[in-house]
Amino acid sequence: MNKLIFLNINEKMIFLLMFLLGTVVYAQCIPYTGQTMMSGNTYCLNGNLSVGTNISIPNGAALIIKSGQLQSNSIQVDGILEIGDGASVKATGTVKVGTFGSQKNSKITLGTQSFLSLVGSVIQEDPTFGGFYPGTTSVIELGTNSVVEICGTFTQQSTTYPSVEYVGIPAGKAYCIAKADVSGGGGASIISDDSQVIAIAMGSVTGLGIGNSSFCGPNATKAMCPTLWPDGLSEDKTSCGNAPVIIDDIDGVCTKPGLSGTPAGFTRFGITVQQKNDSWPGNIPNGFLAMESKSKGFVITRVQHVSQTPQSGDAIAEPKEGMLLYDIQDKCVKLYNGTEWKCIQRSCND
C-alpha cells in the first residue's frame, strides 16, 4: 500500500514538474503582436508585423525578430533588439539605443544578411555619463553581410567605447551607412574598432573618429571609395530603402575553378536509379560515395532544432564535428564545426 501511495505521489510530482517546465519554456519567448513589453520578458516575432505606435524595449527585456520584417515608427531600445538571420526592421522615426547615464546595458544585434533601415535618425546614448560610470555600453552589433541604413542623422554620445561592433565571421563584412550628417562626443569618440565594419558617411562628420573601421567619407561618393561602395547603394541622399538591394547584391554566388592535376584515386561506391555502364562510379575521381538521380531527391536527417551553441534539450545531445542535418525551425542545412551549429551558406570556394 505504501508503495502504491508513493507511486501516486511521484506521478503527481512528475505531472507538476512537466507543467512547470512547459510554462517556463513558453515564457522564454512571448509572441510579439505590438503589445507593451515588460522587463524580464523575451518577445519573439515570426513573420511580418506593422506597428503604428512607438516601440519601447525596457531594460531587462528582449525583442527577437526571428523571421520576416517589423515595421514601426520610433523605437527606444533600453534592452535588446535582436534582428535574426535574414530578418529586418524598418522605422519611419528615430531609433535610440540606451539612455544617457542609466548605467544599464542595451544593444541592437543584426544577424547574417539582416538589415535595419530607417527614415529618421539613430541616437546612441551613453549610459556611462561620459565615462563617469564605466562598465556599461549601448551598442549596435553587425553580423555577416548585415546592413544598417540611416537616412537621417547619426549621433554617438559615447567617448569611451565604439558604438558599432562586428560579430560576424572574421572574413566577412557589414555596412553602416549614414546618408545625413554624423556627429560624435569628440575626444576619443570613434565609430568602430573593427575593420570588417564598412562605415559610409554621405554627409558631414564632426566629433567622431573612424577607429579601425573601413571608412568612406565625409560627403562620400562611389568615386571616392569604389572598393568600399556596395552595389545597390544610391548616391542620392534622399533615396532611402537601399538596404535590401545591397544585401541581394552581396549575396551573389561566387565560384572559382577547381584544382587541376592527377586524381589521388577514384570512387568505389555508388547508388543510382539510372542505367549505368560498368565504368561508373569508378570514372569519378577523388570521391568516396557517388549518388545520382534525375527525378529523386536526397533527404538528410531532419530535426526540430539545434541551438547555435549546443544546449541541453537540443535534438542532438552530443554533436560531432562535421555532422550535417536539416533544422526544421531555422529552415536551413546546418554543419557542426566542433563548436557551433552554422547554417550552410553560399560563398566562394576558397
Q: What is the pLDDT of residue 26?
A: 38
> If you average pLDDT over residues 126-141, what whole number do you get?
87
User: Is 260 domain-assigned?
Assistant: no
- Picking from 10-19, 37-46, 155-164, 222-231, which range would have the lowest pLDDT averaged per residue? 10-19
**Conformational region of residue 130, where left means phi above 0, alpha means psi within -120 to 50, and beta covers everything else:** left
Nearest of 125, 127, 180, 128 to residue 156 by alpha carbon: 125
pLDDT tens for 31-45 read: 999 999 999 999 999
User: Is 332 domain-assigned?
Assistant: no
pLDDT tens for 186-204 read: 888 899 999 999 999 999 9
Please report, as a single letter, which amino acid is at residue 324: L
Asked if 115 and 146 touch (Cβ cutoff 8 Å), the reply is yes
Q: What is the pLDDT of residue 279?
A: 82
Q: What is the pLDDT of residue 23?
A: 40
Asked if 180 and 152 touch (Cβ cutoff 8 Å), the reply is yes
User: Is 286 domain-assigned?
Assistant: no
Q: Is 19 helix (H, G, I), strand (E, B) or coil?
A: helix
Average pLDDT over the chain, rounded to an integer: 86
Q: How far apart are CA 238 and CA 219, in angstroms?
A: 14
Q: What is the pLDDT of residue 147?
A: 96
- The residue with greater pLDDT, 301 or 269, is 301
User: Is 35 domain-assigned?
Assistant: yes
The cell numbers describing 197, all together, are: 565594419
User: Is 346 domain-assigned?
Assistant: no
Position 2 pLDDT exceeds 80? no
User: Is 100 domain-assigned?
Assistant: yes
pLDDT tens for 59-111 read: 999 999 999 999 999 999 999 999 999 999 999 999 999 999 899 999 999 99
Q: Cell match 539545434: residue?
A: 306
The cell numbers describing 135, all together, are: 562598465
User: Is 211 domain-assigned?
Assistant: yes
pTM over 0.85: no
The number of domains in the chain is 1
Q: What is the pLDDT of residue 265?
A: 85
Range of the domain at 144: 25-250
Position 262 pLDDT exceeds 70? yes
Q: What is the pLDDT of residue 337?
A: 92
Q: What is the pLDDT of residue 7?
A: 37
Integer-rounded Cα radius of gyration of the chain? 25
User: Is 284 domain-assigned?
Assistant: no
Q: What is the pLDDT of residue 60?
A: 95
- Give 249's contacts (C-beta < 8 A, 6+ positions apart): 230, 231, 232
Asked if 67 and 41 touch (Cβ cutoff 8 Å), the reply is no
Main-chain phi, psi angles of 302, to 5 degrees? -115, 130
C-alpha 210: how far from its chain's center?
23
> If you average pLDDT over residues 270-277, what whole number do you get?
78
